[in-house]
Amino acid sequence: MAPPVRIAALGGLGEVGMNCTVVECDGRIAVIDCGILFPNENLGVDLIAPDLSWLEERHAQVGGIFVTHGHEDHIGALPFLLRKVRAPVYAPRFALELLRNRCAEMGIEADLREVKPGDARDLGDGSPLRVEFVRMTHSIPDACALALRTPQGVIFHSGDFKLDETPVVGRAFDLPRLEALGKSGVRLLLSDSTNAERPGRTLSEAAVAPGLEEVFGRAEGRVFVACFASNIGRIQQVGQAARAEGRRVALLGRAMDQNVRLARDLGYLSFAGWQGCSLEEARELPPRELCVLTTGTQGEPRSALARLARGEHPELRVDPGDTVILSSRHIPGNELAVGQVVNDLCRRGAEVVYEGGPRLHVSGHASEDEQRRLIRLLRPERFVPVHGEYRQLSRHAAHAAAEGVAHRHLLLDGEVLELSDEGARVLPDKLPVGRVYTDREALAGEDMGALVVKDRRLLAEAGLCTVVLVVDKATGAVVRGPDLFAVGVAGFEGAEAELRAEAARALEELSPGARADVAEVQEALRVAVRRFFRKAGGRRPTVLPVVLEL
Ligand SMILES: [Zn+2]
């Protein structure tokens, strides 16, 4: 009897983002991708990661982490996982280099191993699982699907894909390999559901060239183009449209800079020798000769595009007569933020070209026809839709039914599908799953609770000092204080009287107007106390001023 194989997602089923799938057989575990989710409501956090505690508890069993491509919703939480799980990471080239940069920035040691399409790797320790990378097409270079050879047959994970015959950068998807896998038999297909609700097929990346040429052809001022920094095919086409009009290209923003440099180093991107220009050169160029590539298509308020729109960018300006192209589609939930940026750009007199105009964007995900074509090519016995909200998963399952796939399983995060000699079943017990709200600094830290931990660390290093002042609400006169209390502050004891005098002096120096303002009084107390500790030996306790009005 062949051992059973269990498949579950720790994220990505029922939401678009934080994709992470685990496959377990004979006590060994393969992890497929480990991404983040961008919050689209204002939670006061940068990003959301899947709860990875199930994997962390089984770190010794993880034999390999397999990365399909380099988008943040597939690799963004990997640095965190790698703090706890020391398994080799197999990734295609572009994703690998992005990961290498990220791990270096965060000071994480990782065993990163490059794979090429066609390569297969196993989990070591005699595990019967073997994972083959299959070339696909998507909106980032080197996207791959995975064919897992298991004792229960081949499990095919599509990764994110579209079936693009003319992808601009890199080669088309590996049709012969897909056909061969289909002929030899696929037990289970897990496939990208993002665009299951879109009929027809997604256009090729090459289809945006005419729209770009049209807009570049009629632009009189500067042309700003915003797109995803990892969409190298798009960037290449913007470069070509700019070159045809004699425009030089400046890069604005760190992500754009990093991705373009990487793509050029890898030979995926070519601009004419004269074409690149620095921001200093860009400021001197006549508007008619400049194209600026940047990010911020989702309305992110701190992005270069949003700052340009508000007139707050330190390097460049958008002026009347300039053209701004949003080469993207906004992600649902970001409408308000994108609308704000477009409003601000229009107010500056720019022509803004976005959804609804000439074609300046195509999706990176397969629509219904391509999803069904992949099913026909692979002819799987069973089907699990992945990468989507529930309505997209359920529509994709319907497409599979229409293609004659007899067994479909609509799984959500944590539900475990077991393949065995008897067939397949969803196990009664779920894996623990959840969301961890965090920020980039916390991701680099030792612990996921690091937002709180950061405050605690500051307190642990230098302690807490509170200054309490009671004032008369009507007159503003001091009724009591300033009184000082400290926890864990070295040297506080002997200096209490001096500190009190220092705080009182700061109060006296305030103008009558400032004294009537609680916020001003608090700030004056905070500054005075901090200054005192800095002078008395460079200590930096957290200072908490409290002003009570009676
Ligand atoms: Zn993707």
pTM of the model: 0.80
Q: Does residue 285 sit in the same domain as residue 398?
A: no
Identify whether 454 is part of a domain: no
pLDDT band with cut points at 50, 70 and 90 for residue 445: very low
pLDDT at 450 over 50: no
365 is catalytic: yes
The whole-angstrom separation of Cα 420 and Cα 405 is 18
Place of tokens 């300046």: 360
Q: 291 CA distance to ligand 1 centroid (A)? A: 26
Instruction: Work out the burial of residue 412: count CB atoms within 10 Å of its CB; fewer than 13 is exposed, 13-18 middle, 19 or more buried.
Output: middle
Q: 160 CA distance to ligand 1 centroid (A)? A: 5
Average pLDDT, the chain: 91
pLDDT at 446 over 60: no
Give the list of residues 6+ apart from residue 491 with CB closer than 8 angstroms, or none: 536, 537, 539
In total, how many domains does the chain have? 3
Q: Does residue 62 sit in the same domain as residue 182?
A: yes
Please state which of the ranges 274-283, 340-349, 533-542 shows the lowest mean pLDDT. Answer: 533-542
Reported as a single tens digit per residue, the pLDDT across 119-129 is 999 998 889 99
pLDDT at 448: 44
Q: Does residue 409 sit in the same domain as residue 523?
A: no
Q: 345 CA distance to ligand 1 centroid (A)? A: 29
pLDDT at 122: 94
Q: Does residue 424 sit in the same domain as residue 477?
A: no
User: Using CA of residue 468, residue 472, residue 475, residue 478, what is the dihedral sign?
Assistant: negative
Identify whether 29 is part of a domain: yes
The whole-angstrom separation of Cα 117 and Cα 94 is 12
Reported as a single tens digit per residue, the pLDDT across 137-184 is 999 999 999 999 999 999 999 999 999 999 999 999 999 999 999 999
Place of tokens 């860009």: 282
pLDDT at 356: 79
- Across 352-377, average pLDDT: 94
Q: Does residue 21 sit in the same domain as residue 149?
A: yes
Exposure class string for 151-171: b at 16+ Cβ within 10 A, else e:
bbbbbbbbbbbbbbeebbbbe
Distance, CA of 16 to chain centre: 12
Question: Among 310, 330, 353, which residue terminates a domain?
Answer: 353
Identify whether 458 is part of a domain: no
Q: Does residue 62 sit in the same domain as residue 17?
A: yes
Select which of 192, 322, 344, 413 is catalytic: 192
pLDDT at 18: 94
Residue 22, domain CATH: 3.60.15.10
Q: Does residue 507 sit in the same domain as residue 421?
A: no
pLDDT at 447: 44
Question: Among 293, 321, 353, which residue terminates a domain?
Answer: 353
Residue 264, domain CATH: 3.40.50.10710
Q: Does residue 82 sit in the same domain as residue 194?
A: yes
Q: 230 CA distance to ligand 1 centroid (A)? A: 10
Question: Among 353, 373, 393, which residue terminates a domain?
Answer: 353
Residue 526, domain CATH: 3.10.20.580
The whole-angstrom separation of Cα 411 and Cα 390 is 9
Identify whether 453 is part of a domain: no
Identify whether 331 is part of a domain: yes
Q: 73 CA distance to ligand 1 centroid (A)? A: 7
Q: Does residue 153 sit in the same domain as residue 89?
A: yes
For 193-251, what is the HEC assignment? CCECCCCCCCCCHHHHHHHHHHHHHHCCCCEEEECCCCCHHHHHHHHHHHHHCCCEEEE
Select which of 69, 157, 330, 365 is catalytic: 365
The residue that leads in pLDDT, 506 or 74, is 74
Identify whether 176 is part of a domain: yes
Q: Does residue 45 sit in the same domain as residue 176?
A: yes
Identify whether 455 is part of a domain: no
Q: 363 CA distance to ligand 1 centroid (A)? A: 10
Q: 430 CA distance to ligand 1 centroid (A)? A: 27
Domain that holds residue 260: 205-353
Q: Does residue 327 sit in the same domain as residue 398?
A: no
Q: Does residue 346 sit in the same domain as residue 388?
A: no
Reported as a single tens digit per residue, the pLDDT across 234-260 is 999 999 999 999 999 999 999 999 999
125 is catalytic: no
Identify whether 499 is part of a domain: yes
